[in-house]
Structure 1
Amino acid sequence: MSKANVELSIKGESIQSLYGYYLSDTFLVNRRYQRKLVWTLDEKRAFIDSVIKGYPVPLILLADIVSNDTRRLEIIDGMQRLNAIMSFIEQEFDVNNEYFNLDSIADTKLQMDDGKLTQKGIPMAREICANIARYQIPLSVFQEKGASHVDEVFRRLNANGRHLSKQELRQAGATSKFASVVRKISCSIRGDSSASDILNLSAMKNISITSKNLSYGINVDDVFWIKNNIITRESLRESNDEEIIADIVAWTSIGKSLRSSSDILNQLYGFEVDDSDSTLAQQVEVAIQKINEEQVALNVQLVFDKLISILDASGKTFNALLFEKQQAKISRYFQIVYLTLFELIVVQGKEISNMAGLVKALNKSGDKLIKLSQGGGVTGQQKKSNPLLKCWKAR
């Protein structure tokens, strides 16, 4: 192997050792490229069941990072698996109605004696838990050589698209102002935002998207997109909410509508470059720099807050407000309504003068007023619906 190649070590590490790393905050998560915690309770249980039965599990990839004489391990691939292991040990879910027996290993017994953990339900047999603790998880550890190095490893690992959705691959390691704004706004709306991009693995559970069967994190049914029936749970797992936000950020930054498509999104993230002197990604990046990254995010969030106040006043979800009968795949309708509000609130500087009238104008507008253009863009007529304009006044 030449010196140019990555220095790589592959070994097995017991779950007991990994839990020790977890307790000492050795594991790091970089949210610039790592997907959110999205495994369901069934997926976590299935993984632990594989461990119990001694089945082989996929390799976990880590980057060895040394800073100020402190060694940390950044998780490149395997965050969902590591979280499943740690959360099972710490009593967050059961397998076959039995919880990990805290008396079975020294670390958990000490945690229990210190009052940091409490044994739940029926404890699993100590022999089984001891076997779980001895189970060897395959690890591949490479020496980190800068942030761009880790980003490239992550991208290549997931380049075949089997592990990540298209949007997750676009966002993975992206450092543009556009990608940063999309990431921050998306996290804010989902409710899984964090003050820093770098977190300990133990902190991720507090901002994870969970089902009602898990007693921590953010209930998926409370997330704006799911609560308002704009996208499905599976679409949220695939980060389709970030695609909606990416379109909105691009449109509002450059002041014109674009065709909503996978190709356009690829261009916005610089994955596909056309022959023009100024690529779409460059146009959006320059526009965001002129406006200011923080101001772009504030403008987008302001309109979201206004839209939520309109929905609160209506007493309905977005889907129920726009349609007589619940519709599927309405993200484009959401974008049209959102951009209309953005034009009125941010561009024209108006405020709502008649909330009841506005709710009435929006009521069943998806059936009566809004027509999607074939290319997926937003037409001028759609942005200037007269019933909506009557409910606004200048600030």
Structure 2
Amino acid sequence: MQSSELSVQGQSLQTLYNLYFNKRLIVNRRYQRKLVWSVEEKVKLVDSVVHELPIPLILLAQRKKAGVETYEIIDGLQRLDTFFSFMENKFSYEGKHFDLDTIGDTKARLDAGDIEQGEEKLSRSESLAIANYQIPVSIYRDASTSAIDEVFRRINSGGRRLSLQEIRQAGVLGSLADVVRRSSASIRGDGTFSENVALNDMDELSISRRGLEYGLAMEDMFWVRHDIVAQDDIRSSGDEEMVLDLVLDAVIRPWPTSGWQNRDVAYGVPRKIRTASSDEVNAAVDAVGVEELHQRILSVVGLVDDVMAGHGSLGRHMVKLETYEKGTQRQFQAVFAALYSLTFEDGMVPKSHDAVRAVLDNFWGRKLSIPTGGSAWGKDKKKDLYPNVKRNLKKAFYKPEPKRVTVQLNSRMYIDSLLQGPIAEEPLIELKQGFCTLSDPPVEDPDLFEQIMQTAVGMANHGKSAEGLILIGVADKPSAAARLEQIFGVKAVSLQNQLVVGTAEQIAHLGYDVDRWWRKWQAKIQSSKLSNEFANSLAHTFKPVFCDGLLLWEMRPKSIGKPITYDGRFFVRIGSSTQEMAADDFLSHMTMHFS
């Protein structure tokens, strides 16, 4: 591993809370799991502090970007969250809460109305003793990403504190790990556009526990609602292992064995079996494209959810059993593989949701059977089973003529995942309501293209590895959504507190269909005042997506590893706005972001 400076020192909870208060403690979601401790576990930790018992060391990695110093949490996420949630009165100790007037930062939040004081309080002296408790903190300075990943893996694999899938996924780079991580989070509902999230925002992205009001209720998750993956398995990332199997079935032919050794090999862990190597799997994912595969997976999962809307659990619908302790993972995996093949390999679409649901009724109670148990699911058994599953489901599909360029599956789950997490001031996300002005009559917005090109350049100038998202078809405020409904008769769909309004009616008003508009904008991007390298990259990412019948467009500006200009002008993203900079200021800005 790359050598780096390592310092160990004691820091008070009060000092660490100040870093938290200022959003300088960062969670890297490439390797960090969710908040999983129960209230009982949290109370035990507070009890250790009250009785001045030693607790394990906190391990942080110092990061510096654009002059701002932050600390990435390598080890100690659950402990830090416990301390800060207790100091913010999210749970009590022996029926009493931390006195929020004890330190300046909690008092500031109390005065601002961000947090509330619990009725029963610890004494000021007791609260101060907790705030002054010294924790051993080790800080890596100037550590490389690979070094941090390796440290995390060693910490968590040695003691087997993580599940097999969490160990596979922890800190791993590559297309397979990327699509599994992102698709799993999107399906659960805790996806974020950025990999790095302030610890302050983790509550809303974690699974709720008894006595703790986290953002995601387990019973509302797709896997649990449909009796596919058991709740306890989701806590140990069993849903991510499920997604891994779905991805492998989607991209590897012949269909591979599903077993722990095969999964290990796919992640580059050597095993004495013959199966697709990590290089082969990543190449197969790349052949489809991470973004495309991510969207395809969510589209098929979303189709299943839509098919069963108002009709209960898919598991209970296709397997007529009374108990579901172990879920219906293999049954769903086989159905998913068939739906994926029908849609993306054969170019077919459902006749209707009712037709698909009718075929799936008691699907595994007919002549089809599936191996159960904890052993590997062999590729030979899949070879016999999967074609039969596909043949039965094909009855509910047809092939449209003529063949359409765009696959118009409902991607609501995908759009929902793009809007998850804190995006209000996110510099790498921009939402646009559409291509037309809201005038009477509406006309094509003459400034939109230039604005989007400038924004794309600003996002690409955010750093060497920056990747942004521009999503067209989301209203910036309720009045705009109301006006679009008045002009075009479009009813907005609310997702993640955003109003999705679509653009199909607008481009039809301008005399275009989806495919012609797609080609027009790709040509405009490629012939714009951008460099050829960036223009070609950007044009390739511009594509349509569909949400409950509404047409949106996404664009993914990505850094080419060096600063770029638009028409000889310098643009950057400051917060959620695009700003032009003078040459001298731009040079200073780039020195901080690209050094």
TM-score, normalized by length of structure 2? 0.62
In the alignment, which residue of structure 2 is the partner of 1:38?
Answer: 36
Q: Secondary structure at the match of 1:99?
A: coil
Give runs of aligned pairs for residues 110-259 of structure 1, distance below 5 A: 110-211=108-209, 213-259=211-257
Distance 2:45 2:315 in 1: 36
Asked if the contact 1:370–1:382 (Cα under 8 Å) also holds between the matched residues in 2, the reply is no
Q: Would the aligned equivalents of 2:318 and 2:364 in 1 still touch at CA under 8 Å?
A: yes
1:162–1:210 distance in 2 versus 1, CA, 3 Å: same
Compute the displacement of 1:95 (Å): 2.6
Assess if the C-alpha contact under 8 Å between 2:39 and 2:210 holds in 1: no
Displacement of 1:161 after TM fit?
4.3
Displacement of 1:5 after TM fit?
Answer: 5.4
Q: How many residues align?
A: 391
1:333–1:370: 8 Å Cα contact kept in structure 2? no
In structure 2, distance between residues paired with 1:232 and 1:254? 27
What fraction of aligned residue pairs are identical, expressed as a percent? 33
Mapped to 2, the partners of 1:231 and 1:137 lie a distance apart of 38
CA distance 1:233–1:128, shift in 2 (3 Å)? farther
Once residues 47 and 345 of structure 1 are traced to their aligned partners in structure 2, the CA distance between those partners, rounded to angstroms, is: 50
- 1:390 alignment counterpart: 395
> Does the 8 A contact of 2:254 with 2:383 survive in 1?
no
- 1:89 aligned residue (87, 90, 98): 87
* Cα 1:339–1:279 shift into 2, 3 Å: closer
Whole-Å separation in 2 of the counterparts to 1:111 and 1:169: 37
- CA deviation vs aligned residue, 1:64-117 (integer Å, no higher than 9, x gap): 223344322110000011111111111222233322211222322232223333
Which amino acid in structure 2 is aligned with residue 65 of structure 1? R
SS at match of 2:171: coil
* Structure 1 residues 214-363: aligned runs within 5 Å: 214-272=212-270, 280-312=277-309, 315-324=311-320, 325-329=322-326, 330-363=328-361
Give the aligned partner of residue 58 of structure 1.
56
RMSD of aligned C-alpha atoms? 2.3
Q: Structure 2 regions of 5+ residues with no counterpart? A: 401-595
The 2-side partners of 1:67 and 1:389 are apart by 52
- Of residues 30-39 and 384-393 in structure 1, the stretch that sits farther from structure 2 once superposed is 384-393
Deviations 1:27-74 (A, max 9, x none): 111111111222222222222222223222221111122334432211
Query: If you compute each CA radius of gyration, which structure gives the higher value, 1 or 2?
Result: 2
Structure 1 375/232 Cα, relative in aligned 2: closer, same or farther at 3 Å? closer
Structure 1 residues 230-275: Cα deviation after superposition (integer angstroms, max 9, x where no partner)? 2222211211111111111122112432111110111110111669
Deviation string, structure 1 residues 340-389 (Cα, Å, up to 9, x no partner) = 21122222222222533432332222333442247514234344245433
Instruction: Assess if the C-alpha contact under 8 Å between 2:168 and 2:267 holds in 1.
Output: yes
Q: Is the 8 A contact 1:62 1:140 kept in 2?
A: yes
Q: CA deviation at 1:303?
A: 0.5
CA contact (8 A) 2:306 2:353 kept: no
Cα distance in 2 between the residues matched to 1:137 and 1:206: 26
**RCO (CA 8 Å, sep 6+): is it higher in 1 or 2?**
1
Question: Which amino acid is 2:294 matched to?
Answer: A
Report if the CA contact (8 A) 1:259-1:375 is conserved. yes
1-side partners of 2:25 and 2:258: how far apart? 38
- My pick for the range that moved more, 324-333 or 82-91, is 324-333
CA contact (8 A) 1:64 1:73 kept: yes
Q: Distance in 1 between matches of 2:61 and 2:268?
A: 26
Helix, strand or coil at the partner of 1:379: helix
Kept in 2: contact 1:339–1:383 (CA 8 A): no
Please give the TM-score of this superposition, normalised by the length of structure 1.
0.92
Match of 1:103 in 2: 101
Matched, 1:376 2:369: no
- Distance in 2, Cα, partners of 1:51 & 1:200: 24
2:138 match: secondary structure: strand
CA distance in 2, matches of 1:51, 1:380: 59
Q: Secondary structure at the match of 1:35?
A: coil
Q: What are the ranges of 5 or more consecutive residues in structure 1 without an aligned counterpart?
A: none
Deviation at 1:218, TM superposition (A): 0.9
In structure 2, relative to structure 1, the CA distance for the partners of 1:363 and 1:97 (3 Å cut) is farther
